[in-house]
């Protein structure tokens, strides 16, 4: 086996290991959130995305849990918020075409508004 082949195998194994670790961490974070998250009061509050850059929507309340398609929102976008856990808020975003995106966002990127969604 040549030097290049050995290096490619080593790099491939490292990437697979990293992906597996992140997937495990995301699954654990989501399971923990399902048992320990706090419901936001008032419920169905509307939050606005803050900051200067795009804010990633995460699959679980852990910064390593970005969706593969890099789903993000921009400052000024509004989301409906539901629960809070580990510095993250579970959110739903309504796209212009009516489709929804659900996930988690860092709490520091969201600011509560006085708006509420209808029941």
Give the model's pLDDT for residue 24: 82
Give the model's pLDDT for residue 8: 44
Residue 68 is part of which domain span? 3-116
DSSP string, 25-50: HHHHHHHHHHHH-EE-SSTTEEEEE-
Give the model's pLDDT for residue 9: 45
Give the model's pLDDT for residue 51: 96
CB atoms within 10 A of CB 33: 20
Show the tokens assigned to 77.
Answer: 């976008």
CATH assignment of the domain containing 28: 2.30.30.40
Give the model's pLDDT for residue 88: 96
Global pTM value: 0.75
The torsion of the CA quartet 72, 67, 32, 48, rounded to 10 degrees, works out to: 10
Domain count, the chain: 1
Give the model's pLDDT for residue 109: 97
pLDDT beneath 70: ranges in the chain: 1-22, 118-119
């Amino acid at each position: 086996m040549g030097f290049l082949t050995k290096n490619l195998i080593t790099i491939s194994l490292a990437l697979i290991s990293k992906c597996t670790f992140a997937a495990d961490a995301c699954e654990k974070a989501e399971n923990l959130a399902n048992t320990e998250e706090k419901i936001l009061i008032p419920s169905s509050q509307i939050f606005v995305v803050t900051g200067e850059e795009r804010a990633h929507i995460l699959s679980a309340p852990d910064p390593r849990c970005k969706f593969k398609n890099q789903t993000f929102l921009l400052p000024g976008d509004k989301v409906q918020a539901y629960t809070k856990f580990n510095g993250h808020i579970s959110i739903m975003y309504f796209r212009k075409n009516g489709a929804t995106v659900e996930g988690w966002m860092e709490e520091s990127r969201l600011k509560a508004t006085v708006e509420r969604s209808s029941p």
